[in-house]
Structure 1
Amino acid sequence: MTFCVALGGNPNAGKTTLFNALTGSRQHVGNYPGVTVDRKEGRYVRNGHEMHIVDLPGTYSLTAYSVEEVVARDFLVNERPQVTINIVDSSNLERNLYLTIQFLELGIPTCVALNMIDVARSRGVEIDDKKLSHLLGVPVVPIIARNGFGTKDLMDAVDKVGQLPAKAPLRVSYGRDLETAIQEMQKLIEQRQFLTDLYPSRWLAIKYLESDTQILDKGREADTELADRLEDITHAVGAHIEETLETYPEAMIADHRYGFISSLLKQGVVKERHDKNRLFLSDRIDKVLVNRFAGPIIMLLVLMVLYQFVFTYSEVPVGWCERAFEWLADLVSTTMPDGLLKSLIVSGVIDGVGGVLGFVPLILFMFFGIAILEDSGYLARVAFMLDRIFQMFGLHGSSVMAYIVSGGIAGGCAVPGVMATRTLRSPKERIATLLTAPFMNCGAKLPVFALLIAAFFPSQQARMMFILTLISWGGALLAAKFLRMTVLRGASTPFVMELPPYRLPTLRGLLIHTWERTWQYVKKAGTVILGISVLLWAAMTFPQLPDETVQSYDAKKQSILAAADPAVINSIDNADSGDKREPLSAPAAQLKADLVAVDAQQARDALRYSLAGRIGTGIESLTHLAGFDWRTNIALLGGFAAKEVIVSTLGTAYSLGAVDAEATGSLSDRLTGEPGWSALKAWSMIIFVMFYAPCFVTIVCISRESSWRWGLFSMLFNTFLAFFLALIIYQTGLAIGY
């Protein structure tokens, strides 16, 4: 027997920790259909049968305020899991039970997991789980998801609930005014069987009073006449309540739910034995970490330590990866005959995708460090401390998390960052946030920065990454201020945030989170980046040089050979074919250098003659002002699709332009040896990559979250800003002789 179990709960309640504890490695991550919201699924085997576990997005309610709440509710309604485990933070019981009440009002078979029961007890809070279970009518099991305490009892309770018939939905009284309207609407809903195949009739009436946008839209599609009648009732009772009580139905419903919860807890469920003036451990830590003066300094130190850790410990494995791909390229070069297939494999696949995969160790260490900050609860404090700054730039405090998710601490992704702006109620603050969140240093930009830093700033990698993080935040905030002063003028809205308690992350949880994110990066490199690399290789290979041009280069080589001493030619052939390569004499070395120069010039001309080369050359008259030559232009154009492609395209471009395999080395070595490259050009390119148009997927996401007009604006505005900054940096550097 296999049945579905959903995990639901507030953010920071320990839901994902429980999911990891139950499923371990038997899990996979995808997206819910139509939205970029993580869908985590796994298997849990117990007593000979299997449970399919689905980790729902963290939500505070089941009202359609955000995409996470809609996704969670739609899954519960449409998929109808046999049991939903509601993970509750025992140390914040009253607030967490608000979601529990909504599960029960929807008639969902529920088990309540009182998580972090140890934290509650350390605060002097004792919870009578049996009493609470009796009052709610569902099993209530104390657990500690972090170490597995109580999970066996919880899953036993889930097993039992899954075999019981469904219970009637919970009924909470909402006062005379609202109850009169609810009963009137409920009667109309039942008479017309209005959406009752999906939702309980009373619950639908409550959603109308809460002005739930999704239910209102579904109602108009199902029965326009009845939907209008229900909305008229809602407007009438809303006007009455506003006139008599100076409030509105949604607030009254929330008040009555909290009143219902309070009455439950006062019936001997909670006993507090602590001094209310006592500071708990999290509070004592926060006295230092979120101090108005010390907090920001500590935050910057934490960031610097993170980058120092990442670049110090990833240096050796990154070197292993680079040497592995160099060895593979040499192996293919020596075993395959010359031709297009060899060029495709070496330049298109190995040098292209290998350039991206070579940074997997660095990405892995970065994700591990971020997981520590996230699981410990420190990232929430970062958002809290930055709120005051964000208000100065016309943004909302909740914008901080969108920035962090997008790569505020290098390694995020702009797509979920843009999606995170859905929590912002002010449309103008939301647009300003989703337009500037892509300025953060996402995981796709990280290989580009790592490549250029390793090539031109090898002795200060951590410091450079720290500086680039500050630049990305500063640029994003200044751009947001500009937008809020021009096209998005309007007042800022206040920010309220709940700080989760500090927790000691578990090694298992850290490893799972690190592996999930790293595997997504590897999959992208092996699929999307591979496909784009092959297409760009084709664009950099075709059309090929005309036969007469190729013949002219062959004639040049023949002329060089004809003028050379035959003994010198034989010495080169013997050196290349022998097992042990002897050093060449001065005449032989010069002859070989002359031949290589002709081959290299032919390779560069072939690349310039290709479709990609023509495009890159066509815009070089403008881009050279920022230090970008035609080969750099090809890579940057590929970055419009995905930023990782910049590295793979540079690898392909400089591989196609190089002939002597011994002289090529890693891509960073090639760039260092190229005449057109310098630390100044590296700075110009870093700034351009940081700020120019988001990747194609992010553009689509911005368009879906706002409109195609804003998606197009993001692409054009960001690229213009990036080029302007790169131009200023490069020209200023030239002027001062940098």
Structure 2
Amino acid sequence: MREIRIALTGNPNVGKTTLFNALTGSRQHVGNWPGVTVEKKTGRVSHNGYEIEVVDLPGTYSLTAYSADEVVARDYILEERPDVVVQVVDATNLERNLYLTTQVAELGVPMVIALNMADMAEAQGDTIDLARLSEFLEIPVVRTVGTRGEGLDTLLEAAIKEAATSPHHEHTIGYGDDVEATIAMLADALSTDIDLARRYPLRWLAVKLLEGDENVLDKVRGGPALARVESILSSIDSDEYEAMMADKRYEAISAILPQVRKANVRNMSPSDMLDRVVTDRYLGIPIFLALMWGTFQLTFTVAAPFMTMIEAAVGWLAEFVAGSIEPAWLASFLGDGIIGGVGAVVVFLPNIFILFLILAFLEDSGYLARAAFIMDRPLYALGLPGKAFIPMLVGFGCNVPAIMATRSIEGEKDRLLTILVNPFMSCSARLPVYILLAGTFFPEQAGSVVFFLYVLGIAVAIASAKLFRSTILPGEVSPFVMEMPPYRIPTAITSLRHMWSRGSMYIRKAGSIILIGVLVVWALASFPLGVEYGSAESFAGMIGHLLEPLVAPLGFDWKVAVALIFGFIAKEIVVGSLGVLYGTGEETLSSALLADPGLSAAAALALMVFVLLYTPCVAAIGVIRQETGSWKWAGFSVAYGLVVAWLLAFVVGHSAGLFLGGI
């Protein structure tokens, strides 16, 4: 069976990932690009005797290296040389999407255009002549509808056919006599660098140098062409040339469009009318907050019966093990350690999956992009770029990929600022702690309590950004430009796939990191030999009592101190550790917590605030170190988070204590 490799590229929000999922199905692998922490997705599909590897490149508006995403997409095409590049184009927004087409075509690579969301363009009354568009661009154009799997076979056949051709056409835009003369001079100078000329198209290098692309200039440095190149570039205004070249690209696109598309002139569409409401400067934020509050209310309401069933099953299993297995240490190991620890975390699987399903629905519908838009103004005023809201939203799932997602932010200070405040976004790993404590101590207001915590995390992140911007990271905020995706009705399969992709990570953690963590806690609670399980004489008790003075002002005892220490590994271990240390046996963990006279409702609220704000996990610390290139910033993030967590937990706990009693 013959093999070829396809690279999927395209602007953000053109349905590229949907098309990737439709092509590859379950045969997917997610990792990181070598040397960088930008997500890499690959998948495989078999078609007509070919085994095809599909690589989903990061979404990008251009091939000029303004961000890490753009560098990854461009360098993969140039360095890895896929057999064919498939650009996914939004049929409802041809002009903006074809700008990238003009840049990819300059590379001379075999190329196919997937005219995606064609059904939406047709529903608007637009007619696109695919044959004429293909003729003008000299690139095969295939109609696709990723959400319904339409056109996939035709797309693969076109890609196979195009991959069999040699690199061709290097289809270019004419930039005018002056610019073309300068391009020719640069190409001639670059030709003296044999190694560079062998690896990259000379005209493309010249174009990028005229656009002031530092990444390309770095490739020239150290070579024999550098002196002549710098001499030519010093004689021109790169900003002026870049603007002129962009204008020429859009002129070429504008000349093509009337000949290939008949656009229906229409009044305001239902999508436009909906946008006027959800993106309104006064209504937008209240609508967003109301949706988030409804999300958490629905999560608790729907999950409650499933949680009860799982909790009962875990309790029965723990009781059965305790009463039927000998010796006693093995019964304790299985019952208190594995079942009590991991079981305390598994109870919250329904909440995790329901939350991810709702967020997948909001994302696939196109609403979350609007949420980023409405948050741009307040974020900008407080010192954060609007683009930071995307990593902040990702942080609701997991802070690790959220910190990685900051690579799409151009400004170095803006990016560092976003990295430092992202840990305050309440990731899904903290959710089991909220569900346990809010459901136990505030059963009637559990959804509202969790909503309060998420809003508090956002507020602390924004306040911290304002503080950092005025002190350690001063500077201008970079502007936010974002293309709104069209509203779509999410398909059940796509939303369920997104839910499973994120939720399965939680299951894997329960079977690995969390299991190891709770077993370590069990060992600490069981030794030295001969001490009572989980007593003050155990290693866990010694550690907890050593740290207890630090957390006692917050209303926490030594058991909570131990749980918080292990929460550095992963926040779910806080729940697992409590399950182990309380040795619940026949009763549920919720019942054990309620029966503890040392843990009041006010202290439980303070504990949730502390878990929200202190360091997410060791993985987050590691990725902060990797992304900033400095242990200094990683250490600062840990220290700052601990101080803020302690102070706010103290304030919230004692304030709540005035009404709830305790602490």
TM-score (normalizing by structure 1): 0.84
In the alignment, structure 1 residue 263 sits paired with structure 2 residue 248:
no
C-alpha deviation, 1:466, in angstroms:
1.8
C-alpha deviation, 1:630, in angstroms:
1.2
Count residues in correspondence.
659
Structure 1 residues 534-549: aligned runs within 5 Å? 534-542=519-527, 544-545=528-529
Closer, same or farther: CA 697–60 of 1 in aligned 2, 3 Å: same
| 2:424 alignment counterpart | 439
8 Å contact from structure 2 (residues 525, 534) kept in 1:
no
**Letter of the 2:561 counterpart:** N
C-alpha deviation, 1:344, in angstroms:
3.5
| 1:726 alignment counterpart | 649
C-alpha deviation, 1:340, in angstroms:
4.6
**Letter of the 2:654 counterpart:** Q
Closer, same or farther: CA 313–127 of 1 in aligned 2, 3 Å: same
| 1:468 alignment counterpart | 453
C-alpha deviation, 1:737, in angstroms:
6.1
| Of 361, 366, 381, the match for 1:377 | 366
1:458 alignment partner, SS class: coil
Find the structure with the greater CA-based Rg.
1
Structure 1 residues 83-482: aligned runs within 5 Å? 83-220=84-221, 223-238=222-237, 247-266=239-258, 268-275=259-266, 278-338=267-327, 340-407=329-396, 412-482=397-467
8 Å contact from structure 1 (residues 181, 237) kept in 2:
no
Identity %: 43
| Inter-partner Cα distance in structure 2 for 1:77 and 1:351 | 53
C-alpha deviation, 1:331, in angstroms:
3.6
8 Å contact from structure 2 (residues 526, 534) kept in 1:
no
C-alpha deviation, 1:174, in angstroms:
2.6
> More deviation in 415-424 or 499-508?
415-424
1:113 alignment partner, SS class: strand
Closer, same or farther: CA 146–630 of 1 in aligned 2, 3 Å: same
**Letter of the 2:252 counterpart:** F
| Inter-partner Cα distance in structure 1 for 2:193 and 2:38 | 35
| Inter-partner Cα distance in structure 2 for 1:640 and 1:264 | 57
C-alpha deviation, 1:225, in angstroms:
4.5
| Inter-partner Cα distance in structure 2 for 1:149 and 1:623 | 59
| Inter-partner Cα distance in structure 2 for 1:325 and 1:63 | 55
Write out per-residue CA displacement over residues 262-307 of structure 1, whole angstroms, 9 at most, x where no aligned residue: 23324x12222314xx212321111222223333332222222222
1:273 alignment partner, SS class: coil
Closer, same or farther: CA 683–695 of 1 in aligned 2, 3 Å: same
C-alpha deviation, 1:197, in angstroms:
4.2
8 Å contact from structure 1 (residues 348, 533) kept in 2:
yes
| Inter-partner Cα distance in structure 2 for 1:8 and 1:191 | 32
C-alpha deviation, 1:152, in angstroms:
2.7
Closer, same or farther: CA 493–342 of 1 in aligned 2, 3 Å: same
8 Å contact from structure 2 (residues 67, 410) kept in 1:
no
In the alignment, structure 1 residue 717 sits paired with structure 2 residue 647:
no
| Of 601, 610, 621, the match for 1:699 | 621
Write out per-residue CA displacement over residues 230-255 of structure 1, whole angstroms, 9 at most, x where no aligned residue: 344323323xx6xxxxx433333322
Unaligned 5+ runs, structure 2: none
Closer, same or farther: CA 508–429 of 1 in aligned 2, 3 Å: same
Write out per-residue CA displacement over residues 673-706 of structure 1, whole angstroms, 9 at most, x where no aligned residue: 1121121111110111111123222222223333
RMSD: 2.3
Write out per-residue CA displacement over residues 715-738 of structure 1, whole angstroms, 9 at most, x where no aligned residue: 101110110111223334445662
8 Å contact from structure 2 (residues 127, 263) kept in 1:
yes
2:235 alignment partner, SS class: helix
Write out per-residue CA displacement over residues 87-136 of structure 1, whole angstroms, 9 at most, x where no aligned residue: 10011101101112222111221110111222223334322111111111
Closer, same or farther: CA 36–344 of 1 in aligned 2, 3 Å: farther
Closer, same or farther: CA 133–735 of 1 in aligned 2, 3 Å: closer
1:480 alignment partner, SS class: helix
| Of 515, 518, 533, the match for 1:603 | 533
Closer, same or farther: CA 344–215 of 1 in aligned 2, 3 Å: farther
Closer, same or farther: CA 33–192 of 1 in aligned 2, 3 Å: closer
Closer, same or farther: CA 514–733 of 1 in aligned 2, 3 Å: closer
TM-score (normalizing by structure 2): 0.94
| 1:671 alignment counterpart | 593
2:92 alignment partner, SS class: helix
8 Å contact from structure 2 (residues 38, 407) kept in 1:
no
| Inter-partner Cα distance in structure 2 for 1:232 and 1:21 | 50
C-alpha deviation, 1:458, in angstroms:
1.5
| Inter-partner Cα distance in structure 2 for 1:197 and 1:45 | 33
Structure 1 residues 645-660: aligned runs within 5 Å? 645-655=573-583
